[in-house]
Amino acid sequence: MLTFTIRRLLLAIPTLLAISFIIFAILDLSPGDPTSQIPLTVPPEVREHIRTSLGLDEPFIVRYLLWLKQFFINEPLNILEEWTGYTFGDGDRLRISSWATRSPVVDLIVERLPQTLWVVGMSYVVGALIAIPIGVISAYKQYSWFDQVGTFVSMIGFSVPTFFTGLLLIVIFAVNLQWLPSIYDTTLRVTDWSSFVAQIKQMIMPTMVLALYNASQISRFMRASMLDNLNQDYVRTARAKGMKEKTVVLVHVLRNSLIPVVTVIALGVPQVFGGAIITEQIFKVNGLGQLLIIGIQGADIPLVQTLTFIFAVLIVLFNLVADILYGVLDPRIRYD
């Protein structure tokens, strides 16, 4: 397994380089323009000047290589400098800078991580915690009322988009009942009990909207996989051997049923870092998802390229984690 992991990690480097090139090419081809957000009163000559000042008149390959250098050399050195306090070389390196904010992209990402991890991350945790037991019980008692209700709720949860559920929650809990804030305050620091309560209050609605969506998806896969396994021969054998029903279901069946769920969760974790564009927008959480969408709308190529590439790294990494977990869950799976 170790050689497999090392081989895959080494293989990830050319893969990621190829991905970064393709992403850059797509962003470059994409018809958006960094001056599209400026009022029309700004004349065309000035716009052309702005483009030049952003380096857009350089050839494609030069801009790509510059980004590579900034991402793989300048930024890591910068982080190293901050950690160790040493200065390497002259210490004056060009960092990846967003076109819209004219500030280092990495700083923007770091600034936004807390709210995204709190809201989107929590929604995944809550979603998985709800979904796994629901999936297990639904499958074990297939077609019971619990299963039927579970199916119904998760189908509603999946088929009704978050732009609708989010707005509905705001109308009920923020407008009519006035219980919860509809706007997330990113300047809030949790220092005491009352600020902690405020933090929980502003997290409830966005987290629940996303958790409902995630739980619907995970519980369906959990249920289907459990159903497949409950009818397998080894279950019959285990029962025949006189094992306790609880052990059979929760240890043997559950373990064997987790493979698709692990896949879904491993696919979801990078999405946590990608943020939830619509939900963040509705509740004004202003995390990574909102950063990405603003970057795309403003054709802020350095920002979008960096965010998307970090996202790609996480995808490659977590799919590797999933592959390793398959081996743990089912030792018969071999990769070499």
- 77 touches 86 (CB < 8 A): no
The letter for the amino acid at 164 is: F
Q: Exposed, middle or buried, 31 (CB in 10 Å: 0-12/13-18/19+)? A: exposed
Q: Does 86 bind other proteins (CB under 8 A)?
A: no
- Please, which residues have CB within 8 angstroms of residue 295's CB and are 6 or more apart in sequence? 98, 100, 303, 304, 307
Work out how close the CB of 141 gets to other proteins at its nearest, in angstroms, rounded to a whole number: 14
Residue 304's CB is within 10 A of a number of other CB atoms, namely 27
109-148 footprint of other proteins as x/- string (CB under 8 A):
--xx------------------------------x-----
- 215 touches 154 (CB < 8 A): yes
Residue 33's CB is within 10 A of a number of other CB atoms, namely 14
Q: Does 52 bind other proteins (CB under 8 A)?
A: yes
Contact segment (CB under 8 A) with other proteins among 59-67, 70-78, 83-91, 253-261 equals 253-261
Q: Does 259 bind other proteins (CB under 8 A)?
A: yes
Distance (Å, rounded) from C-alpha 194 to C-alpha 187?
Answer: 15
Contact segment (CB under 8 A) with other proteins among 47-55, 67-75, 80-88, 120-128 equals 47-55
The single residue among 5, 66, 81, 186 that binds other proteins, judged by CB under 8 A, is 186
What residues numbered 222-241 form the site for other proteins, per CB under 8 A? 224-225, 227-228, 231, 233
Residue for token digits 């797509």? Answer: 26
What residues numbered 8-27 form the site for other proteins, per CB under 8 A? 11, 15, 18-19, 22-23, 26-27
Considering the complex, state which of residue 88 and residue 163 has its C-beta at the smaller distance from other proteins.
163
Residue for token digits 């390229």? Answer: 305
Work out how close the CB of 259 gets to other proteins at its nearest, in angstroms, rounded to a whole number: 5
The pair phi, psi for residue 97, each rounded to 5°, is -120, 130
Considering the complex, state which of residue 2 and residue 175 has its C-beta at the smaller distance from other proteins.
175
Residue 175: helix, strand or coil by DSSP? helix
Q: Does 286 bind other proteins (CB under 8 A)?
A: yes
- 272 touches 121 (CB < 8 A): yes
Work out how close the CB of 53 gets to other proteins at its nearest, in angstroms, rounded to a whole number: 3
Q: Does 61 bind other proteins (CB under 8 A)?
A: no
Q: Does 168 bind other proteins (CB under 8 A)?
A: yes
The single residue among 1, 13, 53, 58 that binds other proteins, judged by CB under 8 A, is 53
